Chain A
């Protein structure tokens, strides 16, 4: 059982200076050595705390003019939730002690920025304390174009209306070669980077995501992570990195893959991505989230030993992954998240979107309603 990670690679990782070659080499190292190293870095950065957020997903529409080939959620004529319907969901979330609403939806053909502003304003008017984590870089880009304003102006207006943070979704793989195949009409790599960078400049922090396990190469995955690192070096505005394995069901990209005998990423590949993300981003992005929706509860719990220090949100509802074949349910209780975290020998802590500590054990709060919306 020899230590087969080269000394200089370890050294660079500690300094937050891992290279692309380091990343590629780490893919070949015996998996448990990789996981142990990632686990060590996680311990240095986040200690024994594992966080989660009590939140609610709200998808205001499945109607979308986009053409992403990996999507099973989009419909041609889905309903668009009214402000009142959105507010109903926010009220339910508030009753369930959620501190964040995560709001995203399909790209509607004619709506400009005011549509999004209205949502944020309505929520903040009734729930000034509720954190609004909303609108992907694609949605902001799309709304700016329709309204004929610059992205920076759009972001500033959204912030004024009450937007607190943005999900760093629509990233998929930050490679134009890949985007041309899986989502040709989406904003390009440079455009995504631009929107996120400007969001940070406007004081809007974001997460960063990577949807992997389709047409991209291992190199492209690593380059994506390093791109996130570069943004973080410049702005410091990324709160966490969330690798998301692609679900290949009910969408054209996935169906093609399956016909070719390629299926969802095997669990080992998922864990390696989490570990390598931790290593490459060490010193830059402190938090790596393991998504129980995509990985399943069992694997996401084990990912806590492979570099992850966060388990995401309770969600209360979830459709995007579910429709693409994710079998892991739409919500999870605080009690179960804490069970998983204790099982890893770690300490659960409820967090805010911005990763500021809130309270030690959310499950001890009386009067908590453990979520509404479909669960297993």
Chain B
């Protein structure tokens, strides 16, 4: 006869609630019944953020798709790319503002032309013209590289970036925080320790950041978990992370992915994606409040299910996406506020527009009206 006997040991659950989940606990939870893990993660999410699900009206702006890096998982980088001028960036920021965006997310490849002064000019210009826009920009990789070119320390670079108006640094270029993995997939990138140091310094300089994990390639399950525990350790020290964004690796149009597929390994399954979101919620409970389910990587349907498995944020409207699209992401470049609200209410939850720092904002444009319906089809700055 069908009965539901929980199989997760009491002490594991107890430690989870106290924010003391161990690695062994996490492995056990992942081996057990997935629904038990999801229920636990869902409970922890409820006790942390209640029924609210947030999203941000933002815009991605890619400074350049040229890059001297050699990450094997990248399908975006190109030899003969573009570099946006400050005017072009301001134009995109202006469009975003008109469409009700509260944040611009500015990133790109790292190149010799992009030294610290280059970034300072962009940030200052955007802040000057749009003092209300949150500038969520760059990554530890770009900062390290540019600081090197400009001959200054990372600390100094961060200080100047903050002074110019950088509100938040993105926590990308994390990939997997394991040097063994980085050696295989992105040997030219900053090391695990450099990433940790840069983030920590950013937090100490008063620049909050989010955190990411790009999983589903050559890493082991243990390495995935170690990564999340590293995030927890940093957070214990600085409290500067706003959220964690698990990002499923998209294996198309890049060497790492092609090798994987040739050996019969494909994108992470939906189950795996949900399990990582759930276990992240458990591991980071009482430390990092927000776990984002990214629709760009997971698709809208799975991202919405993730709201039942520990996630409490759906990311941004984006208006543009080139990186995931190049790697085979087929989920589009834009989701309207109205569609976010549909997804969130469908999960029985309460939608909330937020800014980069996870503060609630009043919608600038009423949600019903799709502000820039043409934006979903924008192909600005393509590979040509």
Q: Which residues of A contact B (CB under 8 A)?
A: 1, 3, 10, 14, 31-33, 35-37, 40, 261-271, 295-302, 304-305, 327-329, 335-336, 338-340, 343-344, 363, 376
What are 23 A-B contacts with C-beta separation under 8 Å? A3-B4, A32-B35, A32-B39, A264-B301, A266-B301, A266-B342, A266-B346, A267-B301, A267-B304, A268-B304, A268-B308, A269-B346, A298-B299, A299-B302, A299-B305, A300-B270, A301-B269, A301-B270, A327-B332, A335-B266, A340-B266, A343-B268, A344-B269
Q: Distance in Å from the Cβ of A197 to the closest Cβ of chain B?
A: 33
* Residue from B33, B299, B302, B343 with most neighbouring chain A CB atoms (10 Å): B302
Stretch at the interface among B78-86, B195-203, B271-279: B271-279
In addition to A298-B267, A301-B270, 6 A-B residue pairs with Cβ atoms within 8 Å of each other are A36-B4, A266-B343, A298-B273, A299-B305, A327-B331, A335-B266
Q: How far is the CA of A268 from the CA of B341 in the complex (A)?
A: 14
Contacting residues, chain A, for B339 (C-beta < 8 A): 263
- Flag if A298 contacts B269 (CB, 8 Å): yes
Shortest beta-carbon distance from B272 to chain A in Å: 6
> How many residues on the B side are at the interface (Cβ–Cβ under 8 A)?
47
The 8 closest A-B CB pairs, nearest first, are: A267-B301, A302-B270, A298-B270, A266-B346, A343-B269, A327-B330, A267-B305, A266-B304
Smallest distance from the beta carbon of B244 to chain A beta carbons, Å? 19
A302 and B271 in contact (CB under 8 A), knowing A261-B342, A266-B342? yes
A1-B6, A343-B269 given; A264·B299 CB < 8 A: no
B9 sits at the interface (CB 8 A): no
Query: What are the residues of chain A within 8 A of B273 when measuring CB–CB?
Result: 298
Q: How far is the CB of B135 from chain A (nearest CB, A)?
A: 30
Q: Footprint of A on B, CB under 8 Å?
A: 1-4, 6, 33-36, 38-39, 42, 248, 252, 264-274, 298-305, 307-308, 328, 330-332, 338-339, 341-343, 346-347, 368
Q: Roughly how many angstroms separate A261 CA and B340 CA in the complex, as a whole number?
A: 10
- Contacting residues, chain B, for A302 (C-beta < 8 A): 269-271, 274, 302, 305
- Let me know if A3 and B298 touch, CB within 8 A: no
Q: Which residue of B lies closest to A7 (CB)?
A: B1
> In the bound complex, do residue A376 and residue B328 qualify as a contact, i.e. CB atoms below 8 Å apart?
yes
* A301 CA to B42 CA, complexed, in Å: 21
Q: What A residues does B2 contact at CB under 8 A?
A: 10, 14, 37, 40
Chain A nearest CB, measured from B92 CB (Å): 24
Q: Are B35 and A268 in contact (CB under 8 A)?
A: no
Chain B residues whose CB sits within 8 angstroms of the CB of A267 once the complex forms = 299-305
Contact A32 B38 (CB under 8 A): yes
Q: Evaluate contact between B346 and A268: CB separation under 8 angstroms.
A: yes
Does the CB pair B269–A268 fall under 8 Å?
no
**A335 contacts B301, CB within 8 Å?**
no
Which of B36, B271, B302 sits near A296, CB closer than 8 Å? B302
* Distance of A149 from chain B, by nearest CB (Å): 43
Contacting residues, chain B, for A33 (C-beta < 8 A): 4
Q: Tell me if A271 and B330 are in contact (CB < 8 A).
A: no
Nearest Cβ in chain A — how far from B297, in angstroms? 9
Contact status A299-B301, CB under 8 Å: yes
Decide: A296 near B301, CB < 8 A? Known: A327-B331, A339-B264. Answer: yes
Q: Are B303 and A305 in contact (CB under 8 A)?
A: no
**Cβ–Cβ < 8 Å partners of A298 in chain B:** 248, 267-270, 273, 298-299, 302
